[in-house]
Amino acid sequence: MSGRLYASILQRASSYTQTLSSSAQLQYSHLVVSHPFQLRPAQHCHFSSWGTTRTDQRCCRGEESGTRSQSGRHLSTRQDLDFQLGQVQINSILRSNEQSVSVPEFDGRGLSAVRKFESNQLAANTPNEDRRSAATCLQSKGMLFGVFDGHGGWACAQAVSERLLYYTAIAMMPKQGLEELEMCMEHGRPVPPILQWYKHHADFNYRDSASLYIDHLRVFWQDLLDSEEHDEGMCPPDALDRAFKRLDADISLEAQVPLSNDLMKSTAIQVAFAGCTACVAHIGTDGIHMANAGDCRAVLGVQEEDGSWSALPLSKDHNTLNQAEVERIIAQHPPSERDTVITDDRLLGVLMPLRAFGDVRFKWSRELQQSILNSLESGVDLDSLNLYHYTLPNYLTPPYLDVAPDITYHKLRPKDRFLILGTDGLWDELRSEDAVRLVGEHLSGIHLQAPVSPSEKQLKLGQMHEVLQKRRARASPVRDTNAATHLIRHALGTGEYGELCQERLASMLALPEDLARMYRDDITATVVYLNSDLAKPHYS
């Protein structure tokens, strides 16, 4: 497919949108979650998706007898809950998705800025809606790491985790390399590898959509070849920005145009109507470029001269706690909508992240949405595709959502030791400072304790006991070799004094699948250890 054919498709899709009937309406249902069962000492999680699943709705209605849903899932009762997990079971659950990869210091092209990385995931949704990616750029320099938090299902996060790193790597390639790719495609020769992926054995791929993804990646590099400015390739920040925006445009397009088979069409529609946030790092020998859209987060672990640890944020959360982000979105709509664009700390009262891939319900006209859903075969059950009929409130001047990433740059210093990438399920449970301290102490094996302050010396006996309990908790032995697992264990199992509470951890992990999402979110954490020796010549 050439760049000109792609332009023709875009024009066709635009014309298609304009001729749609304006009478289509979608029914909206937005539920407030509550449940009589109170898990102690666990906390309720903050939902990042649009609403609840149908199982959540049954739980909210207080069905107490053990029943099965239409999908065959057992709906738990108070009597069914058994939180007595042993240490072996806890470790098995926590470590089942962990990954640890050592990176060669010299890969034939130069020194690596990354020594190793460790990653892990723990699901609350069934299936997990988080995804992660890691790869070395083979046609340019540096490594790419990403975490992706899906909502409205896992489809969008899956597609973005497979594709976004390719788009970024292609944008950084020089024109000569892109010409070689195109020649190989034209003559049916093997295409030089673009990325060296680091996959977990449980990672899933959209195999049936691979040809579509390759076709649109090819159209992307053809457009870059047509550009007079793309000689040496884009710098990392421009490549990340272009990749985010182009992939989101392709996701939107693929759901609108005719595709070769029904399965591919259904997948494309699922991806577009679901959504995901993304936080991607390009790490090179000069520094770290971060691209963030949504409420995932990147935090740098810095070791100060006295051995203590500090957290340096490399991204900003795009949610209603970010007032600049709220004002940015409000400014894009008429003054009459100022009180309706953001309500109940959500976009249009529904969506928590304020930037995301997919989520075409917040981007397309209502008429286009209805037409695309109607284009599915009449026998297709929308519920089976996780597509539900509802109309967003006060949906007057779309689009309300975009995926334009915030790009930041940090020049590496000798004291920069590691980077933590995490989905919001991690940050719901841990402050950035605590996460850095946990990984730093895990790395060094040293638990620093501040001297007793003059004010603490005046404490009463009971208060001093509490201080000592917190200090003892800080010095507890490490149970995991993988730092990402260490983070997840502490995120879910930290007790009143900061100690690891076995009862709390067991309770959180023993929750049945129909209840787990009500008390915690999917968690993904990737810890990237930096080669700080590279920065020393610049600071000597």
pLDDT at residue number 381: 67
Q: Which of the two residues, 192 and 24, has the higher pLDDT score?
A: 192
**Which residue in 241, 188, 194 sits closest to 217, CA to CA?**
194
Q: pLDDT, tens digit, for every residue of 488-539?
A: 999 999 887 677 888 899 999 999 888 899 999 999 999 999 997 777 665 5
Q: pLDDT, tens digit, for every residue of 282-316?
A: 999 989 999 999 999 999 999 999 999 999 999 99
Tokens of 303: 């070791």
Q: Residue 46 above 60 pLDDT?
A: no
Q: pLDDT, tens digit, for every residue of 187-222?
A: 999 999 999 999 999 888 888 899 999 999 999 999
Cis peptide bond prior to 399, omega within 30° of 0: yes
Please, which pLDDT band fits residue 51 given cuts at 50, 70 and 90?
very low
Q: pLDDT, tens digit, for every residue of 453-472?
A: 566 566 666 766 666 666 56
Whether this prediction's pTM lies above 0.85 is answered by no
Strands (E), 324-462: 342-343, 346-347, 357-358, 406-411, 416-422
What letter does residue 494 receive in the DSSP assignment?
B
pLDDT at residue number 474: 56
Q: Which of the two residues, 449 and 331, has the higher pLDDT score?
A: 331
Rounded average pLDDT over 35-48: 34
**Dist. CA 433–CA 105, nearest whole Å:** 29
Find the radius of gyration of the CA atoms of the chain: 24
Rounded average pLDDT over 85-106: 92
Q: Residue 246 above 90 pLDDT?
A: yes
CB atoms within 10 A of CB 177: 18
Long-range contacts of the stretch 454-458 (C-beta < 8 A, 24+): none
Please, which pLDDT band fits residue 77 given cuts at 50, 70 and 90?
low
pLDDT at residue number 39: 40
Rounded average pLDDT over 439-462: 69
